[in-house]
Structure 1
Amino acid sequence: MPIKLERKHACPFTLVPLLIALGFVLFKLYTASKVTNPETGRTARVGLNPEQEQKLGLEAYAQVKKDEAAKIVLTGPEIDLVKRVTNKLAKAAAEKAIVNYNWEVSVIQSHEKNAFCLPGGKIVVYTGIIPVARNEAGLATVLGHEMAHATSRHGAERLFRSEIIKTILGGAQQSLAQMDPNQRQTIMGALGAGAKYGATLPFSREQESEADHIGLLYMARAGYDPKEAIGFWQRMDELLGKGSPSEFMSDHPSHGTRISQLKAWMPEAEKEFTQYHSRAPAA
């Protein structure tokens, strides 16, 4: 009587690609540079050196100036205001900065209420944010925050983390290559959502909070009353609060969270503010 051998189905999942990806991730983590933030003490891993990071920032800055050439403000009270505040903050940042930047700022005529600082210290300010700032201290809140992203090397850290997540997800996708396409799509969708809401967005909020903290210290160290930062974010909350997504789904902390954190950091900032006035020459 012939013996019937039971046919085994090939497993639709193989660990090999995922293990290779995890091995690459471990190698990246081992070889990455560690940088410790002198203001907060937080240690981060980055894959770019400061020169590479600044090169990327310069290229992006050149592109912004090219795209917005017709709107760049060259003279007048707005550019004078922004440069004055930037210069004060740059001196404050230099006291503890691990990388010294050649700060440069461009002001763009626009109703957009925004500003950003690229790696390497290249700053772009849209005039729409100036009325919301109301005064130099309000503007120092915005610029201090953006400059803190640069001095903390958040761009390089974010790029490194993004590469790690992409590598892991890529390994997972290869491991599921033999699986039914619909089932594979469902699993990868769940993994992608988990990475976004469990890693990417919380990490982005962590960076934003750190920039708030350091920016508060910069403005106080530059002689601006740090309590003005609370008023600025309250105004932003009134302008944007109702249309903002929940904090869980956002890459920024909610304005309420920001204000609570600023109040917690205020004693530290007020100490910097007091020290500034103690060493400032008498009028």
Structure 2
Amino acid sequence: MPARLPLLGLLTALLLAVAACDSAPYTERKQLIVISESKELAMGNQAAQQIRRTERLLNDPAAQALVARVGRRIADASGRTDLDWEFHVLDDDRVVNAFCLPGGKIFVYSGLLRRVGSEDELATVMAHEAAHALARHGAERASLEIAARLGGAILQLALNDEDPRLADIASRVWGYGSSLGIMLPYSRKHEYEADAIGLALMDKAGYNLDAAVDFWDMMRQSGNAKPLFNFLSTHPTDEKRIARIRKDIETLRQAKKTGTS
């Protein structure tokens, strides 16, 4: 009988995965997500509250207004009026980074805000981060890690909040907990997908798509310069990625010309 437990656990995980088949917006890529959206949003709210308690907001009304303005245009372009979007600038010039929690809570560090060369480049960053949340990349990644670490036999317990390890996995995936900002890097697949979705959001919001090339090329040329390392560690970029962004931009523009967008 004990020998059958691993097989039963595997079958349980497979059944849960099949039942949780979802599709990413815009790309329609099939996803396996075992975390409900309501649970994911609750995690995002919890994380946002903790960040607002422990991190200092930048005391610069103009900067906060800029990020809020760009964020609202991106949010409106997404069509997700059901999400409780928030946009904040965190005061830390040493951190060149930005992230979006489930539910549309976007945080931009002042270190990154001082690096972008235009509002369109800022839109590139914020649309990319919003795309990760819209495509539920964090939930997808957490689902895979839950299955790998806990196994199918106790997967359901974790999803019912009866296993505290779910909170540990979530904190590392979305970058909150005892060590804020230490997020698991997204996979190359997720990065490419966030690029494509982010460009579509920028286009709908009326931003200059060429700014995306300028921004990512600047990041590529910066290499592993210390001020940019924390962004590049979670958003690796290279010539192949930039070429793909150029291709995505051309696809969007061709679609607009032919009326198929």
TM normalised by structure 1 equals 0.70
Equivalent residue, structure 1, for 2:103 = 120
From the superposition, tell whether residues 86 and 274 of structure 1 become closer, same or farther in structure 2 (CA, over 3 Å). farther
Structure-2 residue corresponding to 1:145: 128
Percent of counterpart pairs with the same letter?
33
Does the residue aligned with 2:40 lie in a helix, a strand or coil? helix
The structure that has the greater radius of gyration is 1
Alignment partners' CA distance in 2, 1:48 and 1:110: 32
Q: Does 1:42 align with 2:29?
A: yes
Matched, 1:216 2:199: yes
Match of 2:53 among 47, 63, 66: 66
Q: Which residue of 1 aligns with 2:18?
A: 30
Letter of the 1:64 partner, please give it: I
Write the letter of the residue equivalent to 1:108.
L
1:195 is aligned to none
> Residues 180-219 of structure 1: matches in 2 within 5 Å?
204-219=187-202
C-alpha distance in 2 between matches for 1:139 and 1:19: 49
Query: Is residue 221–residue 272 contact of structure 1 (8 Å, CA) maintained in 2?
Result: no
SS of match in other structure, 2:125 = helix
> Does residue 1:110 correspond to 2:95, yes or no?
no
Is 1:101 matched up with 2:86?
no
**Which ranges in structure 2 are unaligned for 5 or more consecutive residues?**
155-183
Shift of 1:225: 0.9
Deviates more, 1:43-52 or 1:223-232: 43-52
Residue type of the partner of 2:46? E
Partner residue of 1:233 out of 191, 213, 216: 216
- From the superposition, tell whether residues 169 and 52 of structure 1 become closer, same or farther in structure 2 (CA, over 3 Å): closer
Question: Does the C-alpha gap of structure 1 residues 75 and 203 become closer, same or farther in structure 2, counting only changes over 3 Å?
Answer: closer
Closer/same/farther in 2, CA of residues 169 and 202 from structure 1, 3 Å limit: farther
Secondary structure, in 3 states, of the residue corresponding to 1:72?
A: coil
What code does the residue aligned with 2:101 have?
A: L
**1:260 and 2:243 are equivalent in the alignment:** yes
Q: Which of 45, 55, 69 is the matching residue for 1:84?
A: 69
Residue type at the aligned position of 1:22: L
Structure 1 residue matching 2:207: 3-state secondary structure: coil
Post-superposition offset of 1:274: 7.5
**C-alpha displacement at 1:206, in angstroms?**
0.9
- Whether the 8 Å CA contact 1:106–1:123 is kept in 2: the answer is yes
Aligned partner of 2:41 among 44, 50, 54: 54
Contact kept, 8 Å, 1:221 with 1:273, in 2: the verdict is no
Contact 1:226–1:273 under 8 Å retained in 2: no
Instruction: Show structure 1 runs of 5+ residues with no match.
Output: 1-13, 172-200, 276-283
Q: 1:92 to 1:214 in 2, by over 3 A?
A: same
Cα 1:114–1:272 change in 2 (3 A) is farther
Change beyond 3 A, Cα 1:17–1:155: same
SS at match of 2:35: coil
Equivalent residue letter for 1:67: T
2:91 maps to a residue whose letter is Q
Q: Give the 3 Å change call, closer, same or farther, for CA 272–138 of structure 1 in structure 2.
A: farther
Cα drift, residue 18 of structure 1: 3.3
CA RMSD of superposed structures (Å): 2.9
Identify which of 99, 112, 119 aligns with 1:136: 119
Number of residues of Structure 1 aligned to a counterpart in Structure 2: 223
Which residue type is aligned with residue 141 of structure 2? R
Return the offset for 1:235. 1.1
Is the 2:121–2:215 Cα contact (8 Å) retained in structure 1?
Answer: yes
